[in-house]
Amino acid sequence: MKNFVFHNPTKVIFGPHTVEQIGPETRSLGGKALLVYGRASAKHSGLYQRTVTALSQHGVEVVEHGGVSPNPVLHHVREGIGVAKAAKVEVVVALGGGSVLDTAKAIRAGALVEHDVWKFFTGKQGIKRVLPLTCIPTLAGAGSEMNSGMVLTNSDTRQKFGIGNKLLYPNVSILDPETTYSVPPDHTAYGAADAILHLLEFYFTTRETFTPVQDHFIEGLVSSLMNCGERALAAPRDYEARAGLLWGAALALCGLSAAGLGRVGFPMHMIEHSLSALYDVPHGAGLTVIAPAWMIIQAAKKPAKFARLAERVFACDPALPDAEKARIGIAQLRDWFSRMGCPVNLETLGIPAADLPLIAENAQGLARLWRLHDYDQASIMAILQRCRHSQPGEWP
Amino acid sequence: MKNFVFHNPTKVIFGPHTVEQIGPETRSLGGKALLVYGRASAKHSGLYQRTVTALSQHGVEVVEHGGVSPNPVLHHVREGIGVAKAAKVEVVVALGGGSVLDTAKAIRAGALVEHDVWKFFTGKQGIKRVLPLTCIPTLAGAGSEMNSGMVLTNSDTRQKFGIGNKLLYPNVSILDPETTYSVPPDHTAYGAADAILHLLEFYFTTRETFTPVQDHFIEGLVSSLMNCGERALAAPRDYEARAGLLWGAALALCGLSAAGLGRVGFPMHMIEHSLSALYDVPHGAGLTVIAPAWMIIQAAKKPAKFARLAERVFACDPALPDAEKARIGIAQLRDWFSRMGCPVNLETLGIPAADLPLIAENAQGLARLWRLHDYDQASIMAILQRCRHSQPGEWP
């Protein structure tokens, strides 16, 4: 096990009928709030009104910044920073999915500096202080509600970059599984896949070889997320399934799964970010296309950990050779993505084969930022080639 | 899944050669520290000197309160509170096992009030504020380094009571697995057993029936702790084993394993506390005697969860009936305790059969405090009868 520091100060309030606690929790952090939210869904569901009412009842003055899009974009964050500065807000409240939470995080950091917020993402400036943040996540997946990361897309430069900073943990996150009942099947599946692939990035990229605590933690969460994901698709108002997804996705990326694993990479997310940046595909949908191809190539080099996953999560016969177990495990995971309604090839995403070099080139921008030096044009192209058009159930 | 609040603000610094960080971390919390430690071992190992030097080099003035005993006692805590008050310390530093950490927690709370500290333990007073606390745990087991609990023995009343309060989380805990190399085999095993039984108290006493996130988390940690415990006995300086034990034991009781399980009890610990209070037996050793007997009686009523543990942790054939799986799992766990050198009957602890009614009577004091209303004289006696003298490998 490698050295690490684990310090996650987020207060998680979990359960049905907890949304109204946004009032007192936010009030304890400031009297004037910027409320960040998305497009129509929070207003349709009544959640927007419940949040505003709870804030008002506790004496929190609310300034609004709605309209966050999936794959949140820089120019909209800049607008939010302008609003926050003009109104001199003391706290930020995020109501929505990962895109809303990440927008709120960028605003909480950007509102306290004079330079452009994108400099945080390119590493040209460091985050020194932030406004407090309270969150009501309405989608299980990104895990932003309990972690120190944020991801943003710069449409001008076509870069989707993610960074982490210990100041970015939300102060309070209110996780009410009932708020996720209205998430449609596709985004329920994408969210579950995103959380599963957060875990598997760590699992497959660590160089440590004896990490039973982390391995069991990850395998257990992957199994739980798959189980709850299936149940939530079958019955969208299954409280236990929604609860398992919401808590499981938060735990998947809260720092625990990677603690002690040393230097880990996010190569599947790295390539996916280029798909989202160039074609605005949903993050989870891009991931389920990229992940199996990446895994096949990795497993050919180091099958042992893939074999372990196949045994632990897919009940694969331990007596088989590692390479065979690895193949079975990856195929089962890909079939599961497919059964959940996620795309498993670039064709389904409508991305033409002629664009592959462009995607590979774009991905290298993030490879440099994240220091994934093994990923050059050729190696990224090799991964992309394998996810072009093989069908569900067919080996890519 | 039941409603919960999870908020663990402890900063964990993990790895070899991290002990010296006690200097700057403590200095950031105060300039005058009470250093709480045990008897000889920290001085023999050089750890005491490293700690004092690191504190001095960062300008922290040190006042000492050494001599904490296993099963820490009230009168020694009262002395420490006297020292802390007289010296007007600003921060408490704990160097030692769970007994030292719990003593330090009681002092950090007791130093800021005028009433007797025992009133916190009997519920007659609530904790409102505490001194900051930094810790260097030197034994894997109790988990006090990352949680909000503390346990103390009142020798006058022969009560060993434990309480929790959200203000009791340490501010910083420095977990250096190398500091546990010198823990002798018996206490290494007792610590592993203690951590495993923290997890299993939650696992077996929850009334929730669909909790895949928590079940996988607990099963994975139990497996890891068993694996690492065996390795540490075989090779006391096996870094990976010591690291897995230290991190696994901290995670076992940091709040995550119980989050969402609703009302859970600590009945095995409850009865063990009476053994420690009356006979001063090591906590882990008392637990390995009590636990199998408690489990046998519980499994007779509700075998399903015991059967699940047997499948997941002991690779028990899923096709067997639940009652049979439960029996196999409990027997395997008891045999494991025994192989690790832990006692599995009261006779080995030197406790005479004639004392059983006295133990059962004592345990009811804590049963009332912890609201374990099912545990009366008869039901506790039934458990104690089953752990009298059956041998390792023999069904009690």
pLDDT digits (tens, 9 = 90+) for B89-119: 999 999 999 999 999 999 999 999 999 999 9
**pLDDT, averaged across chain A:** 96
Domain with CATH 3.40.50.1970 in chain A: 11-179
Residues A212, B227: C-beta atoms closer than 8 Å? yes
Q: Is the pLDDT of residue A390 over 90?
A: no
- Is B167 near chain A, with CB under 8 Å? no
pTM: 0.97
Domain B11-179 grouped into CATH 3.40.50.1970: yes
Q: Is the pLDDT of residue B395 over 80?
A: no
| Chain B residues within 8 A of A239 when measuring between CB atoms | 1
Cβ neighbors of A271 (< 8 A, separation 6 or more) are A290, A294, A359, A363, A380, A383, A384
Which residue in A10, A203, A216 has the most chain B C-beta atoms within 10 A of its own C-beta, making it the best mutation to test that interface? A216
Let me know the angle formed at the C-alpha of B97 by B91 and B99, rounded to the nearest 5 degrees. Answer: 75
- Is A203 near chain B, with CB under 8 Å? no
DSSP letter (8 states) at residue B90: S
- Which of A68, A280, A266, A270 minimizes the C-alpha distance to A155? A280
B74-94 confidence digits (pLDDT tens): 999 999 999 999 999 999 999
CA-based end-to-end distance of chain A: 34
Q: Is the pLDDT of residue A58 over 90?
A: yes
- Is A16 near chain B, with CB under 8 Å? yes
| pLDDT, average across residues A283-306 | 96
CATH topology of domain A184-386: Dehydroquinate synthase-like, alpha domain (1.20.1090)
Nearest to A1 among B213, B227, B240 (CB): B240
Cα–Cα distance between B80 and A172 in angstroms, integer? 36
A119-146 confidence digits (pLDDT tens): 999 999 999 999 999 999 999 999 999 9
| pLDDT, average across residues B152-168 | 94
Domain with CATH 1.20.1090.10 in chain A: 184-386
DSSP A258-298: TTTS-S---HHHHHHHHHHHHH---HHHHHHHHHHHHHHHH
DSSP B319-379: TS-HHHHHHHHHHHHHHHHHHTT---STTTTT--GGGHHHHHHHHHHHHHHTT-TT--HHH
**What's the pLDDT at B394?**
74
Q: How high is the ipTM of this complex? A: 0.96
User: Which residue of chain B comes nearest to A208, CA vs CA?
Assistant: B240
b vs e for B7-42, b when ≥16 Cβ sit within 10 Å of the residue's Cβ?
bbebbbbbbeebbbbbbebbbebbeebbbbbbeebb
**What's the pLDDT at A41?**
85
Helix/strand/coil (H, E, C) string of B280-321? CCCHHHHHHHHHHHHHHHHHHHCHHHHHHHHHHHHCCCCCCC
**pLDDT, averaged across chain B:** 96
Nearest to A7 among B11, B16, B259 (CB): B11
Cβ neighbors of B321 (< 8 A, separation 6 or more) are none
**What's the pLDDT at A9?**
97
Four-point Cα dihedral B104, B106, B108, B113, nearest 10: -160
Q: What's the token pair of residue A62?
A: 């609310």
**What's the pLDDT at B103?**
98
| pLDDT, average across residues B294-311 | 97
Nearest to A14 among B3, B8, B223 (CB): B3
| pLDDT, average across residues B332-339 | 96
CB contact residues (below 8 A), chain B span 249-288, against chain A: 251, 256, 259-260
Q: What's the token pair of residue B25?
A: 């971390």
| Chain B residues within 8 A of A228 when measuring between CB atoms | 212
Tokens 């005697």 label which residue? B289
